[in-house]
Amino acid sequence: MKPKTCLLVFSVCLLCLVLKARSAEISYSSSLDGLPQYAQVASTGGIVYRSQTGGAMLCMGGCVRLYGSNAPNGSRANVIGVWTGRKDNSITVVRESWTRPKS
Amino acid sequence: MFFFIATAAGFAGYYVPLHFNALLSLLAYGISDAQSATIFVFCLTFSCLACSLLSLRQGRKNRDLELAIAGGYAACAAAVPLLFLAVPAIYSAARPFLWAVLLLLCAALVLRDENKKAAALVMAASGCLGFLVLFFSLCDNALLALFSGFFGFSWEEQQAQETQGLGWPVLFVPLVGMFLVMLPAATPFLAQPLLSAALPLAGAGQSAALVVGKALYDLCSAFAIGRGRSQGSVMLADAGADVSSVFLGIALGFVSLLCAIAFCKIAPRPGNRTRRVVATAGKAVLACLVLFSCGLWGLLIAVAAAAISEYASRAGTHRGMCLGSLYCPAIIYPLGLAPLLARLVLGY
């Protein structure tokens, strides 16, 4: 395989992976009333963590997805945050969205 | 019982260029007893590692290499108490600056390469892939997918280097090994600039001794500095092994290593055609393993990694530059650049 072909294959695969990373389930976006911008995530050494807003999953490498249950009208909050690396396990919210409840 | 099974399984390294971590993933599944896990992990690791290193050599050159492997292990094993006593304090003090050391070593690797442009490109591209895969957790067992692509799908016949006797540099090997175990994601390849600066005539013997010593310290890392530096180390910690069982593992690992050296003396060397057939079958098995444990996205990650690894080979740079997939995230996180890059990827 020629070097340029290798780079082409790599670029196509990387693009697909970027699209996969961006494909969070979002149907409706709004402000995040009720969810703190800096959520505290308890670190106990496991994979699944609990936060004050509901369940939270700390993925390998530091990406945090919070699923809040305190959203108004029962809608589901989906937050993607970044672990700041600090010992208090605080996260910086990168992306936030609401999912409307099915009526 | 576990000693014999693990040592015999490690002999596969003489015929198939399979990393011992991949073998551990395949064979150590379900061993939860601490002592059994310790014996299995140590014996398989060093049996497989010795066979892999010796499979590249032929004839008289083997003797120097055998001495280097056994001598490197013995020197590093003798220095293990130092790893437990001195390294934790040094690691604690140096931890805030380790990203800078990693950055300097990566820069030295690129600048020492014959094709600097290609080396920088491979380091950056694999770094992007590593960040994306690890940060967004795109599949289970992401490291298996990455490393299968970088080094598993593109096996090639390695050129035998000149092996020189180990001599006094055996004293240097444990120190380099302990330094490397403090760095996140460090491999012996990263120490090449250090080795060539300290030992201008360092040959395959010193490199092999360092590979063996680093593997030994990696297995001890979870107990010495509280960080698992290899899959085997994580397995030991998960199984609840303690320091005393680790010392037992070190002793039995040395016996396994000597058994592997003896095996390589009497085992028939496979011909080129056989090696090609075995390598092709091995790639197929590896692809199935990646698909089974990482899913379709894992396979796509492995394809991307294989493409950049193939580029490195064609462009005349070292495949070890693909380890940028680990080095770059390890530099990016402490610098606080991860949120910025995540926003870039997510379009925010």
CA gap B261, B266 in Å, rounded: 9
CA gap B215, A83 in Å, rounded: 30
- Count of the separate structural domains present in chain B: 1
Looking at residue B18, what is its pLDDT?
73
Give the residue numbers spanning the domain of B71.
2-346
Contacts of B218 (CB under 8 A, 6+ apart): B181, B229, B230, B232, B233
- Is there a contact between B119 and B321 (Cβ–Cβ < 8 Å)? yes
Looking at residue B175, what is its pLDDT?
77
Rounded (5°) CA angle B307-B310-B311: 85
Three-state SS for B295? Answer: helix
Three-state SS for A22? Answer: helix
Q: What is the ipTM of this complex?
A: 0.76
More confident residue, A42 or B288: B288
Looking at residue A62, what is its pLDDT?
44
Looking at residue A74, what is its pLDDT?
47
Three-state SS for B337? Answer: coil
Residue A100 half-sphere exposure, CB side, CA atoms within 13 Å? 5
* Other CB atoms within 10 A of residue B213 CB: 29
Looking at residue A41, what is its pLDDT?
35
Looking at residue B188, what is its pLDDT?
72
Residues A55-71: tens digit of each pLDDT: 333 433 344 444 444 44
The whole-angstrom distance between residue B206's C-alpha and the CA centroid of its chain comes to 16
Which two tokens mark B291?
Answer: 């698909």
- Is there a contact between B148 and B283 (Cβ–Cβ < 8 Å)? no
Q: Is B59 in CB contact (< 8 Å) with chain A?
A: no
The pLDDT of A91-102, averaged and rounded, is 52
CA gap B251, B78 in Å, rounded: 11
DSSP per-residue letters across B42-73: HHHHHHHHHHHHHTT--TTHHHHHHHHHHHHH
Contacts of B300 in chain A (CB under 8 A): 13, 16-17
Q: What percent of chain A has pLDDT over 90?
A: 3
CA gap B175, B173 in Å, rounded: 5
Looking at residue A4, what is its pLDDT?
87
Per-residue pLDDT of chain B (348 residues; tens, 9 = 90+): 778 888 887 787 777 777 777 777 777 767 777 778 888 888 888 888 888 888 766 555 567 777 778 888 888 888 888 888 888 888 888 878 888 888 888 888 888 888 888 889 999 999 999 888 877 767 777 788 888 888 777 655 554 445 555 555 666 777 777 888 788 777 777 776 666 655 554 556 667 777 888 888 888 877 777 777 777 777 777 777 777 888 888 888 888 888 888 888 887 777 777 777 877 887 888 888 888 888 888 889 999 999 998 888 888 888 888 888 888 888 887 777 776 777 677 665
Looking at residue B233, what is its pLDDT?
77
Contacts of B229 (CB under 8 A, 6+ apart): B181, B186, B217, B218, B221, B222
Interface A–B counts its CB contacts (< 8 A) at 94
Residue type, B289: L
**Radius of gyration of chain A, Cα coordinates, nearest whole angstrom:** 17
Q: Is B138 in CB contact (< 8 Å) with chain A?
A: yes
Interface test with B, best of A4, A7, A10 (most B CBs within 10 A): A10
Q: Is A95 in CB contact (< 8 Å) with chain B?
A: yes
Closest residue of chain A to B150, computed from CA coordinates: A10
CB spacing of B132 vs A59 below 8 angstroms = no
Looking at residue B347, what is its pLDDT?
66
Average pLDDT, chain A: 52
- Is there a contact between B312 and B322 (Cβ–Cβ < 8 Å)? yes
Query: Which residue from B301, B307, B339 is facing A9, i.e. has the nearest CB?
Result: B307
More confident residue, A27 or B65: B65
Q: Is A15 in CB contact (< 8 Å) with chain B?
A: no
Rounded to a whole number, what is the distance in Å from the CA of A48 to chain B's nearest CA? 14
pTM of the model: 0.71
Looking at residue B166, what is its pLDDT?
53
Is the pLDDT at A40 greater than 70, yes or no?
A: no
- Is there a contact between B312 and B319 (Cβ–Cβ < 8 Å)? yes
Q: Is A26 in CB contact (< 8 Å) with chain B?
A: no
Looking at residue A44, what is its pLDDT?
28
* Other CB atoms within 10 A of residue B204 CB: 19
DSSP B323: G
Looking at residue A12, what is its pLDDT?
92
Looking at residue B321, what is its pLDDT?
85
The whole-angstrom distance between residue A59's C-alpha and the CA centroid of its chain comes to 9
- Band (pLDDT 50/70/90 cuts) for residue A103 is very low
Looking at residue A92, what is its pLDDT?
56
